[in-house]
Structure 1
Amino acid sequence: MGALRHQNDPDLIRELLMDPGIWVVVGLSDNPARAAWSVSRWMTVELGTPIIPVHPKAETVHGARGYASLADIPDQDLKVVDCFVNSSRVGAVVDQAIEHKDRLQLDAIWMQVGVVDTAAAERARRAGLGVVMDTCPKIEWPKVRRDGMQR
């Protein structure tokens, strides 16, 4: 029996991108050469999306205080855990998000381009989280805008 191919829900993508809630960006450091830095910068500047960086160095990025892990983030109402980590490591991030889902009021997991873990995605869905996989908000935003949606 082969693994099921994940298909992203355009309505979920639209909902997540239109909501002004806080995104946790896992794998975000203060290195402007990394995709996490440029995409999160785009989100904060162009969309006005508040972010929380999560990286072992717990660096402040784009003026937002960083944390070493999801467990270190104080209780608050967040929206999305955006994963800029290797596919082999994303399962652990998803499991931590599931563990802290209620405390942080998480709605969804977003796995960036090239980040694929169907088993982790299924665990997240079973825990009540929306899942977007193998795409980027910056790629999806023009599709949302084309559909006439404005934030």
Structure 2
Amino acid sequence: MALNDEKLMDEVGWKLLEALQENARLTFSELGRRVGLSSPAAAERVRRMEEAGIITGYRAEVNLEKLGLPIAAFIRINTAGKKSAQLGAFACSLSEVMECHRVTGSDCFMLRANVASVAHLEDLMDRLLPYGNVTTCIVVSSPLKRRLIDSTTIPSG
């Protein structure tokens, strides 16, 4: 962490970050109350964290099941190196693909997708097959969907 970032990420900075991760819609007034700052001071700290690139955005969490995409799946693809560049672009163009990662190991890509049905997943797999070997795992449950980052997450030293 750079020196300026370390100054931002003191105890108050971590408290601000934790509160915003829990609820990014908190007012600066409420943020300040939670961390012991005035509303303008809280707003300034958050602005500085944004400028430093520590806070990179705010977004709504969407319940994909309520939108008709109840099945989550992880899809591993081994392209054998032949079509990696094309697969990355193709995967990013698919509306079912929520995440696309180029990975190390026996596979080349790891995708997270949400689909409406097993037949929909099968169709998605068929569209990916020309790029390499496809292995799919359907998510049964998610004991941890998202971890909040706090001061204990970052190794000291």
Task: Tell me if both proteins adopt one fold, taking TM over 0.5 as the criterion.
Answer: no
Q: If the length of structure 2 is used for normalisation, what is the TM-score? A: 0.22
Q: If the length of structure 1 is used for normalisation, what is the TM-score? A: 0.23
Structure with the larger strand share: 2
